[in-house]
Each structure stands twice: as C-alpha cells, then as structure tokens.
Structure 1
Amino acid sequence: MAYTTDRLSLPASLRGAVYGLACAFWTEEPSLKPYPPISQPEFFEHAHAALYREMDSPKLATLQACLLVLHEQPGISGTTESPRIWALACQATACAQSLGLHQDPTEWKLPLWEKRLRKRLWWIAYINDVWTSLCHGNTPHIQEGAFDTTELTMEDLASDEHITGLPGYYQACSKIVDHASLMLPDGLNIRSSMAGIRTNGYFHIGCFALKSIIVRQLMSPATPESKSNSDSNLSKHFDLALSVGEEFVQFAAKLFSMDMKTFWTRRIKRY
C-alpha cells in the first residue's frame, strides 16, 4: 500500500529490490521500450549498497528488503544455493530480531496494521531461516523457545492484501483434510481459475510439493510385496497419487512464457 500511495517514502533498498525483481518485464512495458534495459544484477547492486547503510537503523521496510534481495536470480554460471545466500538469510534473521519481531506484539500500543505486519514479517523470516538452513545443511539460527510471536490468523494474512471478501476467505490454509487435499482460499484454488498463476505460481508449486510428500508418506512402504497386495498403503492410495500427478501436469501445461518471468523464488529454477 505504501508503494502505491507514496513510493518515494520507502527506503532505497526496498525500492531497489522491487525494481530489480520487476525488471524482467522491461520489454513488456511500452513506455520503457525506447530505453536500454537495466539488468537485474545492476538494480540489486544498488539495493545491497543502500541496505548496508540502512542496517545501522533498520525499519520494517529494511527487513522486507532483506527478504527480497534473497531472490535475485543466479547468473548462468552461478548456483542457486551459494554461500552468499546463506549469509543474506542470516542478515534477514538478525534484522528481524533487532526489530523485536520475535516478541509477540498483541498487547503493545501499536496500530493494528503494524501488529499484523510485524507478525507476518516474523514468520516469513522464521520460515526463511529454517528453509535456507535445510538447503545449506546448517543449523537454523532461530531456535524453538527463542520467540513468543503468536501464530498467524487469516485476518493477519489478509491485512493490506486484496483477498478479503473472496469466496473461501475463511477456509483454513494449513489444514490437510479430505484425502490429503489442501484447503485453500478460492482465490488461490487452481481449479477455480488459472488467472492467479502470475502472482501465486510459486505458492502453487509449494502446494504440489507438499501434496507429493504427503502422498509418498501415505503410500509407504513401497515394496515389491505391497504392489501385489490390494490392502497395502501403496495400493490404497495409488489413485490419489495419480490424481495429484495429473493435477500438476495440467498446471504446468497452462504456463506461458510470461508466467515464467513473474516472481518465482530463487529456489525455483527459471528456465
């Protein structure tokens, strides 16, 4: 919202990261066609320089910049999980803790929107810390018991977003029910529309990954004996596995080249 109303009020680091991620659309914007395109590395170089200065007195926008610079796409000769990414993830964790986001703000004398934003940013930083540590084979920096920030609610997630009022808004996003299907708000449901891929494609990929993990666990142990046993887990859930796989194939078949230029996290390789 702040970017829409007064973008110049945002720190240079956050604007640089936003512009860097958006530069993939340079050739798609008619007003920019007369100008030579600026590369993503050039944008991010300025964003990192600004971020270095702003870390002396971080704000919530500083943490947002820390989280966004993690998703600069690697060069042709680069690797997705380079040591630099681990260092940048540590920077985001340190920034979040310096802002006190590991403390629950519920009873603090802050505007409601800020409380919700602090909670969202903390859980993003937490997930980023855990996920990056897994990718790099290191121990997470945020340990259990080191924070008391409460879990997110749908109201926290919807704050300052454009999903309030959509059908299915009050459905839970994190419960696995009905044959291991994920209950998603209709705005994120692939079956309802493919129009949201350009803004939520990486989210759908994550859902497919989670479904695959669940189905794999349901079908274990996958032994030669279980294939011939109609009462085995493998046989019972085989149709479910095919259904999940078919849904993913349908999703991938509907992707366009433009979809691949939108925001995909660094860990999803861009072809």
Structure 2
Amino acid sequence: MPTGSCDGSGSAVTDMVVAPEEGSAHVVSPAIADDDRVFQEYLSNEPSNRNRRMIRSHPTMGDSMPEARPILFNIVPKRGQREAESRLLAQSHLKGLEELVAPYQQDLVDLFFSKVNICFPVFDEFMFQRVFTASKDSMSPSLLCYVYGNAMTYWKSSERLMTVPAPEQRSAWLHAEDALNAEWKSTPGISMILSIILNLCGRPSSHYLGNGVLLGMAVALANSAGLNRDPSPWNLSPYEKRFRIRIWWLLVIYDVWSSWAYGTPHRIRRSHYDVPTPTTEDIVGPSASNEHTAGASCFVSLIALTQVLVHGLEHVYHLSGGGPNTEEVCSDLDSLLVIWEDSLPDDLRRPIIRGIRLSGHGTANLRLAYLSVKLLICRVQLDWDNSVCRDDISSRHYVQARRVCEDIVDFVQELDEASIGGFWLPPTAHSLTSATTFLMRTALRSRGSMRNPSLKFARTMVDTLASYRRLYDFDIADNCLSNCGDLIDKVELACNTMDPALADWELSLLEGIDFTALHETVHY
C-alpha cells in the first residue's frame, strides 16, 4: 500500500511504540502499520526527519488529461535549543493537567470519544486509543490537554466519574492553553491544527476575540500543509487521504459557524479549496455500530448544512458593488436549504426537520444549526428587501422570521436532560441570543396590543435557559442569559406600561438591540 513517503525513513512503528528496554516488539500487519505511522505523524509535535516529501497524482482510468505535477512539501527545520525548551515546557503543562485529573486519564479519553468524537470526528478512535496506550509520549501535549479538557465538560455523565468530585475545569483549560502556546514556539504542524480545533470546541466558550485569532492561525497552517487541496489522486494511503479530508472539513465548520456567531467574515473561501465532502463510509467502517454510524451521518449532514450557510454569509458580508440580486440570493438560499432537507437520511429527517426524538448523538445540535440557517435566511429577506418596511411587523418576511424564532424557543423548551448534556457546537449558542433579541424587538413594536406573544416567547426562552443553567450547568445558555437576562425585564416594563413618556426610552432601547447585519447578538 503506498504511503506517500519517498523512502523508507520516518517514524517506524516499533520505534514509536516500544522502547527496547521496555519490552519486546511485536510485528503488526502492513495495513495497520501504515495507518499507524500516518496517525502518529499527524498527532506528534515532532517534525519528520525528512527534509522533503513528494506527492504525485495518479490519473484516473480514461483520464486524457496529462499527469498533474507532483506536490512537494518542504519540512520546516527545527529551531534548535528553543525547540527543545518549548517541547519540555509543553510536556510540563500536560503533566500538571494529568496530575489534576489522575487517575482518570483513560476515563476522560473514553468520555471524549463517547460524547464528542462520535458526532464530531476529530480522530480515528481505534488508532488514537492504540497510540495513547502504547506510546503516549509521542503525542502532542497540547492535543492531549484539550482532549482531557473537552471531556471534563461531560464529567457528571460518566457512571464511573459522577461520584468523584470534578476537578476545576478552568485550571485544565489554562494548562491546555499554556501547552498550546509552548508548542507554537517550536515547529507547529497538523497536530497544532487539531489542538486549535479542540480549543474551539471547548466549553464554556467566551473568549471570542482569542478564538478568532486561533482560528486564523489554524487556517494559515492548514493552507501551508496543503489540507485545502483534494488528496484523492495523490499517492497517499486511503487512511491518510480520509484523515486530511476530515481535518479540513472540521476547520471549515468552525470557520463558517464562528463567522455566523461573531459577525466577522469567514476566512476560508469556496474558491480556495477543492476538498471533497466525506461520506459516512469515509468516517466509519462497515463494521461500525449503529450508534457510531448515526453519529457520522449527523456530522456529514452538518458539513452539507455548513455549505448552505456559506452562501448566506457571502451575501451578508458582501461589500463591493456588482453582487447578485438580493431577491435571487434569497431564492437560491431557500432552494439550497430545501435540497439539504431532502438529502437528510431517513433516521435524521424527522428529528431535524420536525424536532421529534432528538435522541441521537449530535442531533439536537444539528436541529439548532438548521433553525439558525432558517433564521439567517429570514433575516436576509427582511433586512435586504427594500420593498418591505421593517417597522411593519405584519409583513410576510417579518412574520416568517418571528415564526422561526418561536420554533427555536419551542426547541429549547422541549430539550431533555440527555440532549442538554450532549454535544453542542459553541457558536450555535448565539442563535439563542439572536432569536430572543428578535422576539424582544417584535414585542416592543407590538406594544399596546391586547396580546403580545413575542414577549411571552422571549420570557420563556430566558426562564428556560436559566433553569437549564441552574439544574444541568448548561453553559450554552450563557450568551443569551448575559445579553438578555436583564433586558427582558426592561422590555416587559415597556410593553406593560402605557405611559407615553416611555416612548423616547423605547426608541433608544430599540437602537441598542436592533442589529441589522447578521443577527442581533452582542459581540465582544
């Protein structure tokens, strides 16, 4: 099986797994050995000893095009003493975190794979567990730190850990960040990209500016590593091709959804990559359990939904002239979303479209992401259609946007404990804020009417999220509660008071929450 290596050098399995004085080496099958070598190279923070790596493209059968030029990667040289010092420093932070969670390191790794990786597949579980057990020292310290840190979010859901007092998660994140900073000063590689992705997965998420900086670093590293190119025709092993494709799409997901949440343009443009979207079979093998297959299917659907969102964001952030007609954009977005809905597998269609039986791993997160895209489309229609007066709350586009916001409130109300404690993509939390502020905006414009359902929905959202935060430590509620928790009281006062003297105050309040770009959320 070709591996893409020009020569036989590199990290041999026996050298990486077992030191001579620690025991006898055992031969493994060529297929596993090849995958193992690739996996360890990607998870290690040690640069390869090779100076260059050449990758050639193999033409497909019947392809009359000339053979593509080979792709040559240069290996960035080590930085001498600074390299060694940085690695030792990163190892020390990993040691500090492991002392914090000892003796439950393996439990946390298992928890990470059962809660996060099953529907947001950063790693191949078999390979990770194998390397973690046999040669953990070869793995990136920051990568392990972030695996532990992410798993600690689900500490109380583990039957083995629920009776053990949970260590302070903030200390774990500090160790992980320090390890990442130390590794960045050495020679960053693909393991650094994975560490940053896991950093962005971390909950609670609050450092939006810092997350944006890290995301920019990850995108730059990914482009320099050629992850933005389709590896299908390259002379790499099938395992390495699948791994590269998966890493790229994990990064695209975070880039796009962070753009949606934080109100900043996404960094990855569709014209800058040609990586194919993975299939469920690319992520899990034919012998995978139904649970793992369902989680992989949910991830593939999230990738497809992210591609719909990209089209909407490109319109939102388009500043120069000559852009497409807004009416055409709205029609295209509606069509793309319908196509996505029709592409959902049978086991996901009812949970995602109708919100019924959100029991599978990642399904609640995907349902919220779906409603978020629907809300964005409504906002594009509402904010950019010059034929509609946005003060007219009875307009078709305004009513459509309000209905989606009400659907988001209903979705939150109907969550069960298992869904609340499941996987959530942190940026999607901003849709809760967006829906609530839009409902408050509508409530203020409906002031004086006998019935004000938007006000009731907004209050229900805030009260429900506050209850989830108190009962289940649901940090996804934090952004909405911090931005809308006090504001809802003022809006209720304004709506329930008929004093005309409040008119000026109402207008100033509207100016504070009526954001017209992407959605009404407060960015830090």
TM value normalised by structure 2: 0.41
Match of 1:72 in 2: 202
Other structure's SS at 2:154 match: helix
| Cα gap change, 1:194 to 1:131, in 2 (>3 Å) | closer
| Cα gap change, 1:44 to 1:125, in 2 (>3 Å) | same
| Cα gap change, 1:138 to 1:37, in 2 (>3 Å) | same
Amino acid at match of 1:263: F
Map 1:122-271 to 2 at 5 A. 122-132=248-258, 140-142=266-268, 145=271, 147-154=272-279, 158-159=283-284, 162-163=293-294, 173-174=304-305, 181=338, 182-183=340-341, 184-189=344-349, 190=351, 191=354, 193-196=357-360, 199-217=362-380, 220=385, 221-223=387-389, 234-235=395-396, 244=404, 247-267=407-427, 268=429, 269-271=476-478
Tell me if 1:12 matches 2:136. Answer: no
Match of 2:168 in 1: 39
In 1, Cα distance between equivalents of 2:233 and 2:239: 13
Identity of aligned residues (%): 24
Q: 1:99: Cα distance to partner?
A: 2.3
Match of 1:3 in 2: 125
CA contact (8 A) 1:13 1:51 kept: yes
Other structure's SS at 2:477 match: coil
Q: 1:23: Cα distance to partner?
A: 1.2
CA contact (8 A) 1:89 1:129 kept: yes
In 2, Cα distance between equivalents of 1:235 and 1:42: 50
Amino acid at match of 1:51: L
Amino acid at match of 2:279: M
Per mean C-alpha deviation after superposition, the further-off stretch among 28-37 and 95-104 is 28-37
Aligned length: 257
| Cα gap change, 1:20 to 1:177, in 2 (>3 Å) | same
- Residues 138-194 of structure 1 deviation map (CA, whole Å, 9 limit, x = unaligned): 56554565x33334153576456624997xx99x94577779544123343314532
In 2, Cα distance between equivalents of 1:16 and 1:49: 10
Q: Which residue of 103, 111, 134 maps to 2:229? A: 103
Q: 1:254: Cα distance to partner?
A: 2.0
Map 1:86-101 to 2 at 5 A. 86-101=212-227
Other structure's SS at 1:162 match: helix
CA contact (8 A) 1:120 1:156 kept: no
Q: 1:20: Cα distance to partner?
A: 1.3
- Residues 16-69 of structure 1 deviation map (CA, whole Å, 9 limit, x = unaligned): 222212212323333224533112222222323333454445554432221110
Tell me if 1:115 matches 2:279. Answer: no
In 2, Cα distance between equivalents of 1:54 and 1:262: 30
Q: 1:210: Cα distance to partner?
A: 0.8
CA contact (8 A) 2:295 2:362 kept: no
Amino acid at match of 2:130: D
| Cα gap change, 1:65 to 1:186, in 2 (>3 Å) | farther
Q: 1:112: Cα distance to partner?
A: 2.1
In 1, Cα distance between equivalents of 2:410 and 2:131: 38
| Cα gap change, 1:247 to 1:110, in 2 (>3 Å) | same
| Cα gap change, 1:249 to 1:199, in 2 (>3 Å) | same
Amino acid at match of 1:162: T
Match of 1:231 in 2: none
Per mean C-alpha deviation after superposition, the further-off stretch among 179-188 and 100-109 is 179-188
| Cα gap change, 1:127 to 1:30, in 2 (>3 Å) | closer
In 2, Cα distance between equivalents of 1:179 and 1:109: 35
Other structure's SS at 2:275 match: coil
Amino acid at match of 2:222: A
Q: 1:86: Cα distance to partner?
A: 2.0
CA contact (8 A) 2:362 2:422 kept: yes
CA contact (8 A) 2:280 2:293 kept: no
CA contact (8 A) 2:374 2:404 kept: yes
Return the structure number with greater helix share.
Answer: 2
Unaligned segments of structure 2, at least 5 residues = 1-122, 286-291, 309-332, 430-475, 479-524
Match of 2:498 in 1: none
- Residues 204-259 of structure 1 deviation map (CA, whole Å, 9 limit, x = unaligned): 2111011122245557544389888xxxxx55996x76775564444222213453
Other structure's SS at 2:426 match: coil
Amino acid at match of 2:364: G
